């Protein structure tokens, strides 16, 4: 039953994404409108600036996930990715890239929150915090900025710097840069995974995901 629910969540999220993948929240995330994010001229699954969750000495495979912190399907696959990271972190490079979707009031804000934390070396900690607490703030109609500031305080961030980075247009642009790459790579929903630059269908279970990784590592 859990497996079926997970697969259904992924399908629903992908369908919703396809309806509006070119309409993304405005940078201030206050419901003031939408903007069009044009695909990158040369879209890449991975860039030097992309956030790596594992950095093995000898990487045998790179897995990139385009994600939305408010996406329920991303929340469902998060513990799977964490389990895979624990098992393959010394052989596989896991990468997280932003792709907040329309219809999620706090998706873009959550991405900027993670990016502001990254500027203080706390991306992975905020990444985990946002997914661990997704059910507490996801799908809300109101801004959850105060909640996210609370997470920043819990992680011991410099709050004056965090607030400045959260509001910095360069932070919003960093999120849009990932979105542009995603659109250029035909990402239509979240989560979308790439194995060594090639898009794959999201596996429906930990076992299926593990089998896909094992198959790639044999090559």
Domain residues for the domain of 156 are 2-34+43-217
Q: In this predicted structure, what is the pLDDT of residue 5?
A: 43
Q: In this predicted structure, what is the pLDDT of residue 13?
A: 40
- For residue 66, how far is the Cα from the chain centroid? 5
Residue 92's region, left for phi above 0, alpha for psi from -120 to 50, else beta, is beta
Q: Can you tell me whether residue 202 is helix, strand or coil?
A: coil
Q: In this predicted structure, what is the pLDDT of residue 47?
A: 98
Which of 166-172's residues contact partners 24+ apart within 8 Å by CB, and which partners?
A: 166/112, 166/113, 166/116, 168/116, 169/27, 171/112, 171/115, 171/116, 171/119, 172/27, 172/108, 172/112
Is residue 71 within 8 Å of residue 40, measured between CB atoms?
Answer: no
Domain count, the chain: 1
Instruction: Return per-residue pLDDT of the chain as tens, 219 residues.
Output: 544 444 444 443 443 333 333 334 344 433 333 436 889 889 999 999 999 999 999 999 999 999 999 999 999 999 999 999 999 999 999 999 999 999 899 999 999 999 999 999 999 999 999 999 999 999 999 999 999 999 999 999 999 999 999 999 999 999 999 999 999 999 999 999 999 999 999 999 999 999 999 999 998
**Nearest Cα residue to 45 out of 170, 183, 174:** 183
Report the alpha-carbon distance of residue 211 to residue 183 in Å, rounded: 28
Q: In this predicted structure, what is the pLDDT of residue 36?
A: 62
Burial grade of 55 (CB within 10 A; 0-12, 13-18, 19 or more): exposed
Q: Inter-axis angle of helices 169-184 and 107-118, to 10 degrees?
A: 110
Q: In this predicted structure, what is the pLDDT of residue 37?
A: 87
Domain harbouring 133, CATH code: 3.40.30.10
Is residue 217 within 8 Å of residue 87, measured between CB atoms?
Answer: no
Q: In this predicted structure, what is the pLDDT of residue 38?
A: 87
Q: In this predicted structure, what is the pLDDT of residue 27?
A: 40
Q: Per-residue DSSP letters for 55-91? A: --SS-SEEEEEEE-TT-HHHHHHHHHHHHHHHHHTTT
């Amino acid at each position: 039953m859990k497996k079926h629910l997970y697969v259904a969540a992924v399908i629903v999220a992908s369908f919703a994404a396809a309806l509006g993948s070119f309409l993304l929240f405005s940078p201030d995330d206050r419901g003031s409108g939408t903007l069009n994010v044009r695909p990158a001229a040369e879209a890449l699954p991975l860039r030097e600036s992309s956030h790596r969750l594992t950095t093995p000495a000898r990487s045998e495979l790179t897995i990139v996930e385009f994600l939305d912190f408010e996406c329920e399907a991303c929340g469902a696959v998060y513990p799977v990715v964490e389990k895979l990271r624990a098992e393959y972190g010394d052989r596989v490079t896991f990468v997280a890239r932003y792709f907040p979707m329309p219809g999620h009031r706090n998706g873009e804000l959550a991405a900027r929150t993670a990016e502001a934390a990254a500027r203080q070396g706390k991306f992975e900690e905020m990444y985990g915090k946002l997914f661990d607490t997704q059910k507490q703030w996801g799908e809300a109609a109101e801004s959850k900025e105060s909640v996210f500031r609370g997470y920043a305080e819990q992680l011991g961030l410099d709050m004056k710097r965090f607030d400045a980075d959260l509001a910095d247009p360069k932070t919003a642009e960093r999120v849009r840069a990932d979105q542009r790459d995603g659109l250029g790579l035909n990402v239509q929903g979240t989560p979308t995974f790439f194995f060594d630059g090639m898009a794959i269908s999201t596996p429906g279970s930990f076992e299926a995901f593990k089998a896909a990784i094992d198959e790639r590592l044999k090559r």
